[in-house]
Amino acid sequence: MIKTAILGAALVTALAGCATTTSPTGRNQYAAVSDAELNQLGAQAFAEYKAKLPQSTNTTQTRYVQCVVNSIVNQLPTQYRNTGWETALFQDNQTNAFALPGGKVGIYTGIFKVATTQDQLAAVVAHEIGHVVSRHHNERVSRQMASQQLVNVLGAVVGSRYGEGAGQVAQVLGGVGTQGLFVLPNSRKQETEADVVGQQLMAKAGFDPRQAVNLWQNMISSQSSSRGPEWMSTHPDPANRISELRSRADGLVSTYQAAQKAGIRPRCG
């Protein structure tokens, strides 16, 4: 029988070389790669997106998206605000968007089907940028690396005792286990954290944080009602998510109103 201590020691070893950081909501994180390396990977991935996907030729929509992104970026801490952000509007029906380390934002034109106001689009953009400023990309890389090392150790231990074939089976089963119990729960935490950070950002940028609720209501209406259990998903349950967004919005109205009073009133579309 493989002792828990063996896997525990493997996890400690896997994370020993990682720097410890703290997320915007106070979570401990592990960073396996430097910001410079992560920014380079983000730039590379963004270049690949632009090479493969057609960009919109609608100049009105492009300016609209750029205005929302700029408004959110202006409220970021200096280390992120001065990155030199780049935005691309991709001609694609996906109701999706993303942001990458190094200041890269990609918006799919399909998002306009659910983000029907500038405040709702700001909720999308701020959420995605929230992943970047919360260092989620580095955290995911770090945990994936640690997870893979655990799987390798599990396969080696079982293989040495029961043979190579058993070791390979253990690696497969181990991968399923770490994905379900280690990687996916962390992803849900990241999504919730990006909601928290994003809603704060949009309020500071003069966008109504209550519109994040309307956005997700639109998202649910546009998608199939069939859905697996929450613990098998990388995203929080939609009903729970909306409830939390609504609760946080109530506490951020004063931030939004203060921004408006200070003259921070985006007029993007």
Residue 125 has pLDDT above 80, yes or no: yes
Q: Determine the length of the chain.
A: 269
DSSP 183: I
116 within some domain: yes
In which domain, by residue range, is 144 found?
A: 4-261
Q: What pLDDT shows up at residue 12?
A: 44
- Crossing angle of the two packed helices 118-133 and 184-204, in degrees rounded to 10: 130
Q: What pLDDT shows up at residue 26?
A: 75
The residue among 208 and 31 whose pLDDT is bigger is 208
High-pLDDT (> 90) share of the chain, %: 49
10 within some domain: yes
Confidence band for 183, pLDDT divided at 50, 70 and 90:
very low
220 within some domain: yes
CB 87 within 8 A of CB 65: yes
233 within some domain: yes
Tens of pLDDT, residues 50-68: 999 999 999 999 999 999 9
Confidence band for 154, pLDDT divided at 50, 70 and 90:
very low
Mean pLDDT of the region 120-134? 95
Helix (H) or strand (E) holding 185, with range, is helix 184-204
Q: 107 forms bridges with which residues in the sheet?
A: 89, 97
Mean pLDDT of the region 106-126? 97
Highest mean pLDDT among 3-12, 141-150, 225-234: 141-150
269 within some domain: no
247 within some domain: yes
Residue 261 has pLDDT above 80, yes or no: yes
Tens of pLDDT, residues 198-213: 999 999 999 999 999 9
Mean pLDDT of the region 113-129? 97
Going through the chain in order, the beta strands assigned E by DSSP cover: 19-22, 28-31, 86-90, 97-100, 104-108
268 within some domain: no
267 within some domain: no
Number of domains comprising the chain? 1
What whole-number distance in Å separates Cα of residue 147 and Cα of residue 136?
A: 16
Confidence band for 176, pLDDT divided at 50, 70 and 90:
very low
